[in-house]
Structure 1
Amino acid sequence: MAHDLLIGTYTQRLPHVDGHAEGVVAARFDGDRIDDATVAARVTNPSWVAAAPDGRAVYAVEETGPDGRVHAFARDDGGALTPLGSVSSGGADPAHLLVHPFGRFLLAGTYSGGSVSVWRLNADGSIGERTAFVQHEGRGPDDARQEGPHVHQLSVDPVTGDVVVVDLGLGQVRWYALSEEGALTLREDATVALGAAGPRHLVFHPDGRHALVVGELDDVLHVLRREGDRFTLVGGASTRAAVAAGEALPTGENTSAAVRLTEDGRTVLVSNRGDDTIAVFAFEASTSGLVMEAVVPAHGRTPRDLVLSPEGDRLLVACQDSDEVTVFAFDAGTRELRFLTSSEIPTPVCLLFV
């Protein structure tokens, strides 16, 4: 079955990437490859995109300058995007967006700014008043990468409804209560400290009892388990094949990026930039056990984001520095990934089915 796909990109040369796309890309995924790729919205460095639950509104960051922006678009039945305006992201280099599952609020996290903003969404999908702004303060143990707060991802706790903020710079995962009015209140007792791991992205297990966090600085997939009203760190495993095999690390730097979990919660997938691989883990919820099953070449350079198809039998990988999205067949029973195709997309970094 064919599906609509939105792809976030970089459009400018920056210290960490040679961006040369033209904006948000819209495409069709036919089950094997990506076709009909077009520029749907000309935004500068739209490195993260999000959509309303019904797909009728789309949002993109403008990751550039000392004060980034967040853009809103109406999406019609044909997939075309019509601008609905933009607002300041509240800090430098917005890195992530979250549409609350009920569709009433939009949240943004800024990487260099280290802040979180909440806006009320209007009925037409446009961005309304800002209802909350939180500025993180402090630093982590790594002087080079954790000199200040760096918000990297936002998600919603499926049990409590709290907003979960992953801050790479502080080395923390923080839980915030979100009120009916859109205010954020820190639940200090629920903060998880991961320090020099440099937590980047988190995914919740379907059981609501576990969360898995990938560390960008330590290349470890960390397992968190809910104990009462908070999470604690209970385990983890390296995302790199050499470490898992007890061998010497290959030369060159590696930074883990994205983490995805299959619908049944049995398999965890992590992208490695540098090694240019996809790590495949088995997860056993009854024991909180994590075991590396395989490490597969990404068939492209700098695999940034990954996403499973709605049917769960395909994995798409945004290979930022080789200008392509690679596609793998995925067998949920055996956890096998088999490379299928590669489609040319300029500087892809975020993948979203709508």
Structure 2
Amino acid sequence: MKNGLITGLLCLLSIFSVAQNSDYFLYVGTYTRKTSEGIYGYRFNAQTGELTQAGIAKGVSNPSFLAFSPDHRFLYAVGGGTGDSVRAFSIDQQTHALTLLNSEALGDKGGVHLAVDKTRKWLIVGCYNSGSISILPIEADGSLGKVSQLIRHEGKSIDPERQTKPYVHSITIAPNNRDVFVPDLGTDRVVSYTLNARTGQLLPGKPPFTAVTPGSGPRHFTIHPNGKFAYLIQEMGGLITAFRYKKGRLDTLQTSKTLPEAYTGRTWSADIHISPDGKFLYGSNRAHESLAIYGINQKTGLLTFVGHQPVRGKTPRNFAIDPTGNFVLVANQDTDNVTVFRRDKQTGLLTFTGTEVAVSMPVCLLFTR
């Protein structure tokens, strides 16, 4: 292992209890600006939706967004005081305890999102403040090598305050492990790349980007389970755009609003996910404090609005649909809680289960077995 591991730190990072009588395990990434101590672990009962705390991986600054290796043996977290680094952890397959392997600098600041390619050889990290992408090699033991490629976006868009330069917001690697999509809030583009999984190099895609509504602020992106459609949520415009996806190309099908027509508050949309069966799409609205729910036409990819679900908290930065598709969990950053909703698989509608757990500034939810 790299970087001369410190025994004391490893002890702090390995206090998870054994995950017995649990269907799934949930990791919660946080900001440690208030009382959070790091990455929180919970046992999740997929029959009842109940969460039981199993431990905390302490001693890590702002371990916000998280990503697994494809085999779920390793966990990666962006973080640091200014989001200038990424950390690698090994996962104990019995207890789910996290052991720090190493930390590497990103070469830029504002690390905000990350993804591991299917070969488990490359970690791609987006940096919001710097409008850049860092690629780091992953060693055989799961630890990280130094940045092997750094790409800085260029350009701006029409908002004079928030779009004077690029702001990379998320990384999505397509199922083919070749197409990589990077929403850039500052340029109103979904920037496309082609990944060479042998060398770890990103090359411009064909086309190199897809433009969206000026001033809309692209944020998070997801691909439908059937591989034919993709969807983008846009933070500043309160919009979701549906695309037909084929051979690295995105063709716009439809753009829908995430907020009610009568709403006059702040537009601040955030996360987006599709149910495991591919029938429903959900998008989170901070400030409106809701999840917008849409049905997906399986043949055309078009969306039909179903309703809004209050999240019972403030600032739903991130949410997750559990692997069974029975529950939706919401990370409410500014009320320091994670709320659990039961999902009707026929209608897509949600019902609060009464379960919520207190976590300071939760910003990412990630399930594993």
TM range (shorter): over 0.9
* Distance of 1:95 and 1:115 partners within structure 2: 10
Residue 72 (str. 1) matches residue 103 (str. 2): no
Q: Which residue of 1 aligns with 2:32?
A: 11
Shift of 1:209: 1.8
Q: Which residue of 2 aligns with 1:182?
A: 200
* Distance of 1:300 and 1:106 partners within structure 2: 32
Pick the aligned partner of 1:124 from 126, 141, 162. Answer: 141
Shift of 1:93: 1.0
Q: Which amino acid aligns with 1:33?
A: E
Q: Which residue of 1 aligns with 2:217?
A: 198
Pick the aligned partner of 2:342 from 319, 325, 329. Answer: 329
* Distance of 1:159 and 1:332 partners within structure 2: 28
Distance 1:233 1:190, change over 3 A: farther
Q: Which amino acid aligns with 2:38?
A: G
Shift of 1:41: 3.5
Shift of 1:129: 4.0
Shift of 1:64: 3.0
Q: Which residue of 2 aligns with 1:16?
A: none
* Distance of 2:174 and 2:68 partners within structure 1: 18
Shift of 1:299: 1.0
Kindly provide the CA deviation profile for residues 321-344 of structure 1, in whole angstroms up to 9, marking residues without a partner as x: 111100011111121211011111
Residue 342 (str. 1) matches residue 349 (str. 2): no
Kindly provide the CA deviation profile for residues 268-310 of structure 1, in whole angstroms up to 9, marking residues without a partner as x: 0111100101111011132332111010110111111111111
Q: Which amino acid aligns with 1:304?
A: R
Q: Which amino acid aligns with 1:287?
A: T
Q: Which residue of 2 aligns with 1:156?
A: 173
Matched pairs, number: 341
Contact 1:47-1:60 at 8 Å conserved across structures: yes
Say which SS state the counterpart of residue 334 (structure 2) adopts: helix
* Distance of 1:213 and 1:168 partners within structure 2: 11
Contact 2:37-2:57 at 8 Å conserved across structures: no
Unaligned ranges ≥5, structure 1: 13-18
Residue 293 (str. 1) matches residue 325 (str. 2): no
Kindly provide the CA deviation profile for residues 223-260 of structure 1, in whole angstroms up to 9, marking residues without a partner as x: 111366511222111111x22xxxx224x313111100
Contact 1:33-1:343 at 8 Å conserved across structures: no
Say which SS state the counterpart of residue 263 (structure 2) adopts: coil
* Distance of 2:316 and 2:156 partners within structure 1: 28
Residue 29 (str. 1) matches residue 50 (str. 2): no
Q: Which runs of structure 1 show a deviation greater than 3 angstroms over 4 or more consecutive aligned residues? A: none
Say which SS state the counterpart of residue 288 (structure 1) adopts: coil
Residues 1-354 of structure 1: pairs in structure 2 closer than 5 A: 2-12=23-33, 19-31=34-46, 32-65=49-82, 68-77=84-93, 78-159=95-176, 161-179=178-196, 180-187=198-205, 189-194=207-212, 195-226=214-245, 229-240=248-259, 242-243=260-261, 248-250=262-264, 252-340=265-353, 341-354=355-368
Unaligned ranges ≥5, structure 2: 1-21
Distance 1:129 1:236, change over 3 A: same
Larger deviation: 183-192 or 314-323?
183-192
Q: Which amino acid aligns with 2:37?
A: E
RMSD: 1.6
Larger deviation: 298-307 or 222-231?
222-231
The two structures have a TM-score, normalised by structure 2, of 0.88
* Distance of 1:63 and 1:112 partners within structure 2: 14
Say which SS state the counterpart of residue 237 (structure 1) adopts: strand
Taking only the aligned residue pairs, the percentage that are identical comes to 35
The two structures have a TM-score, normalised by structure 1, of 0.92
